[in-house]
Chains A and B, each alone.
Chain A
Amino acid sequence: MMHQLRTSYSSTGSGVKADASFKVTLLSIGWGAAVALLLLILIKYNQIPGAIAKPPAILDDSFPLDDSRYTLFIAVHPKCPCTSASLYELERLIARSHDSLVVHAYVYRPSGQPSGWIDLEPLASLAMLDSVSWEWDVDGKAAQKLGSLTSGSVVLYGPDGQPLYWGGITSARGHAGDNAGSDSILQVLRHGTVRPSTGPVYGCELIGSAKLRITTENKE
């Protein structure tokens, strides 16, 4: 026998006074708790940063450093859902850098994969900017040299070739919007801060090997 909600309409006509049965109330509380728990898990997952390593203090000649402006290297996995958010934030960052920044992107491509494997659409708008250049990063070797183990990792080098910031420029996995990483970079660009800093990065693993995971904390 189904428990019914006793319903009576108020004399003012402003609504319904419902007296939920005990079962339905319990069901609803359980429902709310389950949804809240799952949402918390989702939030928590989105807040789990990826692996990152400290970049080298001196880069070899294969990395195109600009000696008059700041150079930002970004390593992305073209199929990672979070890449769109990272590139979106990168565009915002370039727009606010007042030409004091050049960007070079390393786009991951595993060796032996057909050319159709890569979706270049996320890069299309970025590639149109004058201050942006990019190249394929087969098996993520260049990213690995930079310590960028997670898609969306950036490394900022000053005109003097010193790393000033390394980490992510999003606030969560695939989550565009204000973030501490972009604020740190802008801080460097505007005030010339020399103290290196780092931040969490959110995205897919670039290398795909657990042994390469070195958290920022461990490296620090």
Chain B
Amino acid sequence: MDRPELQKREHEILNEQFAHVYRHTDKMFAWLMVLQFVAGVVMAIVLSPRTWQGANSNTHIHVFAALTIGSLLAALPIYLVWRHSGTLFTRTIIGISQVLFSALFIHLSGGRIETHFHVFGSLAFLSLYRDWKVLILPTVVVAIDHLVRALFWPQSVFGILSSAPWRAVEHAGWVIFEDVFLVYGCTRATQEMRAIAHNQARLESMNAVIEREVESRTRELSDRTDALQSEIIERKILQDQLLQAQKLESIGQLAAGIAHEINTPSQYVSDNTRFVRDQFDEILAVIDRYAEQIDPDAPAMSWQERVTDIRATLERLDYDFLKKEIPLALEQSLEGINRITKIVSAMKDFSHPGSIDFEMADINRAIRSTVVVCSNKWKQYADIEMDLDEQMPAVSCLLAEFNQAVLNLITNSADAIAEKHSESKGLITIKTAFTSENAEITVHDNGGGIPTSIKDKIFDPFFTTKEVGKGTGQGLCISRDIVVTKLGGEMLCESIEGEGTTFTIKLPIDRKSHGVAAA
């Protein structure tokens, strides 16, 4: 706001303040007029109710005077306040009415000196307008009143029929004496109001500048917030993509191990089947020999010849060997097939298609499947002991994400053990338990533990202590994101350096009672 605008605003504020003062004071005087009218009537009734002629009496003229003059004096100011409040004309009429009320009261009170104070009080009251001009006409009226009295009824003012000329202005002089101070007070009040208006105008100007600045900053902040939100959304998408990628990576990495796992039983199922198939020709030859024995068209043979022939056949067959090996081969084949079936089933469980909706899941089975699927990750370095609570109820979760989190923890444990136990196997212990509210899954390893210095960073994205190429630093970060953000649970880590680490996952059994939002 430039200087002319500031001055213009200062004047506006000042005029608003004066308008408020004028209207407020007008109202006070309107009420005072009513009060003075009532006071005049009461004064007349109390002091001079009746005039007497011996034993007879009539209503005193003062009563009529209080009613007529009093009502007249009050009426016009009240009307002007009602219709024209805030104008100089109105407050000038109010001022004149006030000093005329003084004259009326002085008359009604019998000229008591105390009643003259009404004049001075009225002038002081009028100065509440903070407008010195309003004092002019009332003062002139007082002066004219005394001048007229001095000229025509000197005894009504001075008590004597002839008085010195200067006495005519004596009363007015005292009024002017008071006026001097009241004018000074009005001027000072105006100056102070102007200073306040000036300060307020400046304050408003500064506020406007501040508001513009705040608006600008708010806009910037809003833009930044929008950008941040976009970035968060983008990151979220990337994170989901990363999770998916990691899942695929895990599956890819697991594929080789799983292939090996399936290959081994397939191999001996194949060998055993081939063995059984090869031996089947021999067995078939024996059976054919038996068939020939009972063929009626075959040349006749003695019982001894038949026995000799069959014994020779059985000796060629190595019957004792087959009797022992074939069931074993079949047994082993079945076992191999079962093992393949188990691995395939585990893979199927592990690769449970990701669902956006929570479902009630058997997390013990999920853990078992994950252990199987990732067996090539750990079996070289550790054994796994599972202590799963068979009473565990179905838990509301996103199964694919949960499997991923458990897989990451097992992999992490296996890696930790591999670093510590280069020659002997370590131990990974997986336990499940539950309370009335939560299911708890703990994955403990007796690896090297986590150094205290990095304990706070293990869940940070891309933080890893593994060699380049062995880990992305995303495993624990993603696991925690899955557990906390997607599943609405908690993930805790306790570790003793040199002794091992325990990760605990706590999942709400019933998501609705925990108010967990859908991921």
A interface with B by C-beta (< 8 Å): 2, 4-5, 7, 9-18, 20, 24, 27-28, 31-32, 34-35, 38-39, 42-47, 77, 79-82, 84-85, 108, 110, 113, 139-140, 151, 171-172, 174-180, 183, 204-209
Can you offer 17 A-B residue contacts whose CB atoms are under 8 A?
A15-B18, A16-B18, A16-B87, A18-B89, A24-B80, A28-B89, A35-B72, A38-B65, A43-B153, A43-B156, A77-B54, A84-B47, A171-B159, A172-B155, A204-B51, A204-B52, A205-B53
A208 proximity list for chain B (CB < 8 A): 52-56
What is the chain A residue whose CB lies nearest that of B144? A36
Q: Nearest chain B CB to A174's CB is how many angstroms away? A: 4
Please tell me if the beta carbons of A16 and B69 are within 8 angstroms of each other in the complex.
no
- Chain B residues 103 to 126 lying within 8 A of chain A, measured CB to CB, are 103-104, 107, 110-113
Chain A residue with Cβ nearest B48: A81
Instruction: State which of A10, A39, A84, A110 has its C-beta within 8 Å of the C-beta of B69.
Output: A39
Interfacial residues, chain B to chain A (CB-CB below 8 A): 11, 14-15, 17-19, 22, 47-57, 60-62, 65, 68-69, 72-73, 75-76, 80, 83-84, 86-90, 93, 96, 100, 103-104, 107, 110-113, 131, 133-134, 149, 153, 155-156, 158-161, 190, 193-194, 197
In the complex, the answer to whether A13 meets B11 with C-beta atoms within 8 Å is yes
Assembly CA distance A2 to B159 (angstroms): 47
Partner among B18, B96, B161 whose Cβ is within 8 Å of the Cβ of A180: B161
Which 5 residue pairs spanning A and B have beta carbons closest together? A208-B54, A178-B159, A13-B14, A81-B48, A18-B87
Q: Is the pair A15, B131 in contact by a Cβ cutoff of 8 Å?
A: yes
Closest A residue to B84 using CB positions: A5
Cα A192 to Cα B156 with chains together (Å): 28
Residue of A nearest to B190 (CB): A14
Contact of A24 among B55, B89, B112 (CB under 8 A): B89
User: In the complex, are the beta carbons of B76 and A27 less than 8 A apart?
Assistant: yes
Query: Looking across the interface, which residue of chain B has its beta carbon closest to that of A13?
Result: B14
Scoring B89, B134, B193 by chain A CB atoms within 10 A of each residue's CB, the highest score goes to B89
Residues of chain B contacted by A113 (CB below 8 angstroms) = 55
A139 to B54 Cα, complex, angstroms:
8
Inter-chain pairs besides A34-B72, A44-B153, 17 sampled, C-beta below 8 Å = A13-B190, A14-B131, A14-B190, A15-B134, A31-B93, A32-B96, A39-B103, A81-B60, A139-B54, A171-B159, A172-B156, A175-B110, A176-B110, A176-B111, A177-B111, A177-B113, A204-B53
Instruction: Please give me the residue from chain A that is nearest to B87 by CB atom.
Output: A18
Given contacts A7-B86, A80-B52, contact A43 B149 (CB under 8 A): yes
